[in-house]
Amino acid sequence: MAAHIWGMKIFVLIFALFAAPLAAQQQVPQSAAQMQLSFVPLVKEATPAVVNIYAKIMTQAQRTPLQRDPFFERFFRDPFSEKPRVQNSLGSGVILSADGIVVSNYHVVGMATEIRVVLNDRREYNARVLLGDRDADLAILKIDAEEELPFLTLRSSESVEVGELALAIGNPFGVGQTVSSGIVSGLARSGAGGGNSGLGYFIQTDAPINPGNSGGALIDMAGRLIGINTSILTRSGGSNGIGFAIPADLVAAFVARARDGATEFDRPWAGISGQPVDSDMAATLGLDRSGGIIVSGLHAASPFLEAGLDVGDVILEVGGAAVNTPAEMVYRMSVAGLGRETPVHYLRGGKRFEVQVSLIAAPDDPPRDQIMMTERSLLPGLVMARINPAVISEMNLPLEASGVVVMEAGRFAQQVGLRRGDVIVDINGTEIIASEEAAELLSGKVRWIEMTLLRGDRRTRLRFRV
């Protein structure tokens, strides 16, 4: 019996030791203010600046292969199938200024012919696109309102840290404005986004994001915009807790360009090719850890080459921030903006160097001499241009590409196998250097055409009768 009593005393003592800190952590609210502790004040302040966007996009009906054939197309002529179709797009946006500057995703409004913006209080406005960029998946809109509008302020992305609380606000599935909570799960996510490459630099969050949230706000606990929700990583189509937002610093750069009157976002051109330094490569280079980008190629007009970098150098920082992927470097340069210089730290032979690199647009030199083939030519509608740095950047060509590239294949060229982005090496055995040479050969009276093409890193040959 005595042993039983001692056992009970020990149990009570252990329970008391554990219960004391537990009670301290789980206190019953002592006041009305503590009972009302929630996101309510924050949501009330932020949601008026997050809008629903309804866009109409005109699309052309897809033609079957037989409809595209010159002989069979007459049997498939349908006056109704040729008419453009209206496709409705639903998304979200964020007001960034009292005079009606709105940011959203390019995939929501980029190709729209009509845009309607609906505020949380049900006010509606027509909007127009000032600037859009497919690669960054950003679009800056303007709505004209007589009164001042509610707006969110931007917070520098550099101050955002993993673990911060965050709210995602948008219009998922068109059910109406919705708020979801989570944290900042990761930073500098390159190449993420499930097919939305953007500039390859995202903020990751576990706040639920669903279709319709695109273009909506990711805010911090002070109600400041830290990112624009753009995509999710999912297999089912719904939120799995892995969402991506475009950092506010890039949004600010787009807004500044739009206010300057630009209709396109001209990002700085690096003129280099490279790859991330992994652990095996780091050991070979004598580095104590992986990180940075090793330069594998430099264009003759590259500002990095002019600043003194060479093949084999490892770029460590751009603009004072570490870079570990080419996409991250492009992001840093884009945020800095054209016409400036940015500090670049690199490693060569185990020594660290710093240089100032000029941020320039890809030079459109030598002149591209773009040509469209006429109806009298062998391939009417074919658009070709001489390759220069600007064309390499626009068409995403290899850095060493030269000669003439297909800008638009046109109907007849597509039928014989030409595609946008094909580099024309030769025509009927004649090496092609300028677009005028290609145009002349494709305007002559010949029965057969043989062309050597470069398609990516693959060489192919076409032969067709004309």
Catalytic residues: 107, 137, 214
Taking Cα atoms as reference points, which of 101, 90, 92 lies closest to residue 55?
90
Distance CA 52, CA 283 (A): 51
CB 434 within 8 A of CB 386: yes
Calpha distance 165→188 (Å, rounded): 17
Residue with tokens 């911060």: 164
Q: ∠ CA 434-439-441 to the nearest 5 degrees?
A: 100
Are 170 and 212 in contact by the 8 Å Cβ rule? The answer is yes
Q: How far apart are CA 33 and CA 48, in angstroms?
A: 24
Phi, psi of 54 (to 5 degrees): -115, 120
Name the token pair of 78. Answer: 């349908």
Residue for token pair 């709505």: 143
Contact 178, 207 (CB under 8 A): no
Please spell the DSSP secondary structure of 260-309, one letter per residue. Answer: TT-SS-------EEEEE--HHHHHHHT-SS--SEEEEEE-TT-HHHHHT-
Q: Quick one: CA dihedral 263, 265, 269, 273, positive or negative?
A: negative
Enter the tokens of residue 367. 């002149």
